[in-house]
């Protein structure tokens, strides 16, 4: 017991001190808590309160003006016209009732366009009626309310709202309501931008205070210098993201109602034309009302692009196509002809100078632009490909320049015959074969490639599936049956079927098997004109900084230089023989196009081509055999400036007289004529302009004409440097 007492005392000696110390530590810790609480709640309290009450929303404001497009001599062809617009920015949590009030307040000031009013459906009117009438409470009985779910009750109410009810609702209000109902919170949405009158604009500007969320601003719209010319390729711009690309564009920061390029150039150049949007930070309070808006980053207009197209020339080409189709239709048996295509390239650079396709609706007597058909629609080319076939023959060692083969009627096993148009030509060489368009010469090249010689009706034991692939790879060097490099996603490369017998390869050699697009044919003839260098077709020449002052172009950001896709693997003199053959087609005494290109100021080389094609006749309910009349060519013969392909499908049907002239060669002739006419006009204009301008042009032309000038300059510089030393 005593021990215990001592023990206790001993412990007591340290325990109270230590316990008090513990208590002191606790006191310190708790004081720390209270101190920190004071900092958070008293010192920083205001800031946290602000944070809680305000929500920052980074929203993207209006898009900046879209980049504009110029043609190859810097004429503005696609541009923006400003137009007045009335917008509405909904609060963070828009309530239908509030939105309807805005619509009603706004209605006296603006009249919505007819098409928007037409879009108002009966259902929309019913929704509005219900909103206005206590949610239509009196339309349903108490029992029904208990019996049905909310959704069903609303449907019941909708059913019971009659036209008697809705007829008093102003359609104008409904149209405005429809616009603002679909608006995204905090994002300005256009209510009306077409045909906003000065009166409307002024009235709303004056009453902005009474119209929360409503604003007047300047919007823009696309305009076209040449109206519908080339519009198919220029493409379209529409508000609202295309459905299949919503995710793609949203990831890039677009909002749902943004305007984007929908087709062809507008879509293809979207990233360049779009520009950077003005970013606006919107701060809202708890009620979702906008407290402040400030511009975070000023947007940048989209960049301008300069195209390679010559719009004046393009307009002429389109006109020629239209006229020639209208000329040809009245001829007998020509009731399936309704479209034609033309592509004109600069063979040396691949620049697309014109790309035209027109389709005629005979019933409606209207034209639609089908320029995209030059690379989306493929047709059997016929004999125009023979240049490639002859070069293939040389490359494969099947023939040599000057090889003579006999043009005769060929009897294939199975009873088919192959012959050239007209009477058999007898022994002919390669140039003659091109001039007179011998099918038999081409077919015999294929025989030689197969390691076989033609014997009438001898069966053809060829590895023809391999051979057809080999032929295709030769043709592909010219762009035939492959992508041309134009860059559009929906470019067609043509139909490439497996042949079911070796005989098909013979037809293939003169263009009656695979199908090609007009652009492919143009690239093919350009490759021959350009000494075997296949150039990538270019539609865009330059990208330029936008210039707010409209008169001048902004500085160049990027200039595209011509791209060689590949070089056809042939000797120069082989190519020259084919070029010679093409020359003979137009200029030779027996040339298939000798009656054309008489009126043009330069020497033209080219190749005609006719292929059978079938068209489905809806009335007869059967396929009708028609002909594709095609032409490829280039000019001038010795120093080509242009290469072109003309495709006119379904020209006349068999079983009657054919069209008494070659429609494609005629179109080709007029296209070449138009090209030089345009060129001359421009030169005259420049000459007329002023002396200085004239000099400049001449200088430029010198530089362009030959590289010698450049070399000379270099030498001169070098000389100077040497002198300096």
* Residues tagged active-site: 383
40 binds another protein, rule: CB under 8 A: yes
To another protein, the closest distance from the beta carbon of 15 in angstroms equals 5
The answer to whether 296 and 276 are in contact (CB under 8 A) is no
Q: Please tell me the distance from the alpha carbon of residue 658 to that of residue 612, in angstroms, as a whole number.
A: 13
18 binds another protein, rule: CB under 8 A: yes
The DSSP code sequence of 10-72 is HHHHHHHHHHHHHHHHHHHHHHHHHHHHHIIIIISHHHHHHHHH-EEEEEE-PPPPPP-EE-T
Neighbour tally for 400: CB within 10 Å: 11
Look up residue 155 and give its two tokens: 């449907």
C-beta closer to another protein: residue 55 or 276? 55
48 binds another protein, rule: CB under 8 A: yes
58 binds another protein, rule: CB under 8 A: no
30 binds another protein, rule: CB under 8 A: yes
42 binds another protein, rule: CB under 8 A: yes
Letters for 268-287 (x = contact with another protein by CB under 8 A, - = none) are: ------------------x-
Angle at 391 between CA 387 and CA 396, to 5 degrees: 145
427 binds another protein, rule: CB under 8 A: no
The answer to whether 545 and 554 are in contact (CB under 8 A) is yes
Q: Please tell me the distance from the alpha carbon of residue 97 to that of residue 181, in angstroms, as a whole number.
A: 10
The DSSP code sequence of 365-389 is TEEEE-TTHHHH-EE--GGGGHHHH
Q: Near another protein by CB under 8 A, which window of 23-31, 159-167, 554-562, 631-639?
A: 23-31
Q: Please tell me the distance from the alpha carbon of residue 584 to that of residue 593, in angstroms, as a whole number.
A: 9
Q: Near another protein by CB under 8 A, which window of 28-36, 161-169, 325-333, 449-457?
A: 28-36
291 binds another protein, rule: CB under 8 A: no
To another protein, the closest distance from the beta carbon of 291 in angstroms equals 16
C-beta closer to another protein: residue 10 or 93? 10
To another protein, the closest distance from the beta carbon of 55 in angstroms equals 11
* Strand ranges inside 262-389, DSSP E: 279-284, 290-297, 304-307, 339-345, 352-361, 366-369, 378-379
To another protein, the closest distance from the beta carbon of 131 in angstroms equals 27
C-beta closer to another protein: residue 46 or 363? 46
C-beta closer to another protein: residue 11 or 571? 11
620 binds another protein, rule: CB under 8 A: no
616 binds another protein, rule: CB under 8 A: no
11 binds another protein, rule: CB under 8 A: yes
21 binds another protein, rule: CB under 8 A: yes
CA distance readout (Å), 242 to 228, 257, 260, 401: 23, 10, 8, 55
Paired strand residues for 340: 358
Q: Near another protein by CB under 8 A, which window of 37-45, 264-272, 633-641, 716-724?
A: 37-45
Q: Near another protein by CB under 8 A, which window of 10-18, 120-128, 269-277, 325-333?
A: 10-18
Widest pairwise Cα distance in the chain = 146
Angle at 669 between CA 664 and CA 661, to 5 degrees: 45
The answer to whether 533 and 567 are in contact (CB under 8 A) is yes
16 binds another protein, rule: CB under 8 A: yes
To another protein, the closest distance from the beta carbon of 194 in angstroms equals 44
CA distance readout (Å), 693 to 73, 308, 682, 700: 14, 22, 12, 11
Look up residue 650 and give its two tokens: 């379904």
455 binds another protein, rule: CB under 8 A: no
To another protein, the closest distance from the beta carbon of 215 in angstroms equals 30
The answer to whether 384 and 339 are in contact (CB under 8 A) is no
Binding residue (CB under 8 A) for another protein from 37, 223, 409, 421: 37
9 binds another protein, rule: CB under 8 A: no
To another protein, the closest distance from the beta carbon of 28 in angstroms equals 10
Q: Near another protein by CB under 8 A, which window of 24-32, 364-372, 374-382, 616-624?
A: 24-32
Place of tokens 């070089």: 567
Binding site for another protein (CB under 8 A): 5, 7-8, 10-11, 14-16, 18-23, 25-27, 29-30, 32-34, 36-38, 40-42, 44-49, 51-53, 286
């Amino acid at each position: 017991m005593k021990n215990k007492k001592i023990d206790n005392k001993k412990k007591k000696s340290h325990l109270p001190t230590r316990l008090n110390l513990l208590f002191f530590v606790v006191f310190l810790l708790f004081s720390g808590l209270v101190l920190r609480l004071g900092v958070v709640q008293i010192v920083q309290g205001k800031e946290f309160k602000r944070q809680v009450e305000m929500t920052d929303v980074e929203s993207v404001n209006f898009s900046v003006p879209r980049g504009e497009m110029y043609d190859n001599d810097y004429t503005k062809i696609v541009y923006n016209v400003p137009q007045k617009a009335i917008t509405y920015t909904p609060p963070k949590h828009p309530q239908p009732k509030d939105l309807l009030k805005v619509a009603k307040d706004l209605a006296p000031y603006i009249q919505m366009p007819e098409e928007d009013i037409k879009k108002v459906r009966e259902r929309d009117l019913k929704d509005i009626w219900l909103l206005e009438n206590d949610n239509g409470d009196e339309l349903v009985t108490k029992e029904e309310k208990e019996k049905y779910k909310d959704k069903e009750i609303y449907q019941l109410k909708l059913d019971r709202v009659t036209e008697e009810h809705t007829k008093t609702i102003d359609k104008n209000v409904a149209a405005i309501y429809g616009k603002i109902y679909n608006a995204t919170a905090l994002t300005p949405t256009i209510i009306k931008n077409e045909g906003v009158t000065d009166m409307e604009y002024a009235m709303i500007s004056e009453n902005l205070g009474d119209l929360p969320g409503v604003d007047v601003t300047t919007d823009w719209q696309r305009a076209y210098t040449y109206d519908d010319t080339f519009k198919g390729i220029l493409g379209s711009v529409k508000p609202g993201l295309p459905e299949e690309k919503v995710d793609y564009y949203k990831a890039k920061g677009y909002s749902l109602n943004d305007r984007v390029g929908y087709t062809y150039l507008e879509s293809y150049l979207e990233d360049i034309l779009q520009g950077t949007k003005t970013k606006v930070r919107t701060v809202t309070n708890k009620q979702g009302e906008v407290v402040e808006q400030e511009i975070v980053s000023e947007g940048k207009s989209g960049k301008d692009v300069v195209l390679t197209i010559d719009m004046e020339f393009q307009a002429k080409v389109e006109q020629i196509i239209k006229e020639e189709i209208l000329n040809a239709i009245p001829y007998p048996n020509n009731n399936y002809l309704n479209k034609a295509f033309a592509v004109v390239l600069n063979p040396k650079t691949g620049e697309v100078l014109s790309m035209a396709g027109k389709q005629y609706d005979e019933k409606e007597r209207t034209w639609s632009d089908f320029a995209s058909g030059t690379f989306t629609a493929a047709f059997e080319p016929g004999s125009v490909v023979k240049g490639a076939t002859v070069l293939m023959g040389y490359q494969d060692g099947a023939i040599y320049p000057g090889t003579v083969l006999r043009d005769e009627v060929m009897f294939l096993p199975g009873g088919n015959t192959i012959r050239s148009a007209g009477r058999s030509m007898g022994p002919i060489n390669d140039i003659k074969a091109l001039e007179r368009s011998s099918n038999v010469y081409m077919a015999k090249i294929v025989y030689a490639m197969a390691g076989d010689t033609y014997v009438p009706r001898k069966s053809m034991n060829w590895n023809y599936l391999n051979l057809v692939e080999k032929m295709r790879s030769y043709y592909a060097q010219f762009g035939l049956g492959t992508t041309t490099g134009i860059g559009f996603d929906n470019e067609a490369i043509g139909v490439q079927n497996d042949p079911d017998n070796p005989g098909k390869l013979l037809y293939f050699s003169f263009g009656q098997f695979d199908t090609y697009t007009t652009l492919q044919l143009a690239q093919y003839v350009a490759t021959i004109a350009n000494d075997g260098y296949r150039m990538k077709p270019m539609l865009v020449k330059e990208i330029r900084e936008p210039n707010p002052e409209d008169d001048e172009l902004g500085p160049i950001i990027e200039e595209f230089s011509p791209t060689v896709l590949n070089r056809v693997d042939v000797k120069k003199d082989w190519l020259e023989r084919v070029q010679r053959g093409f020359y003979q087609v137009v200029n030779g005494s027996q040339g298939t196009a000798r009656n054309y290109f008489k009126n043009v100021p330069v020497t033209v080389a080219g190749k005609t081509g006719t292929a059978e094609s079938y068209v489905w006749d809806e009335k007869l309910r059967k396929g009708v055999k028609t002909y594709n009349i095609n032409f490829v060519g280039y000019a001038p013969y010795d120093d080509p400036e242009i290469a072109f392909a003309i495709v006119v499908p379904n020209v006349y049907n068999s079983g009657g007289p054919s069209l008494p002239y070659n429609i494609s060669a005629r179109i080709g002739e007029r296209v070449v004529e138009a090209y030089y006419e345009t060129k001359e006009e421009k030169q005259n204009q420049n000459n007329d302009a002023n002396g200085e301008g004239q000099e400049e042009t001449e200088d430029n032309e010198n530089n362009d004409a030959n590289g010698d000038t450049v070399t000379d300059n270099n030498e001169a510089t070098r000389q100077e440097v040497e002198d300096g030393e």
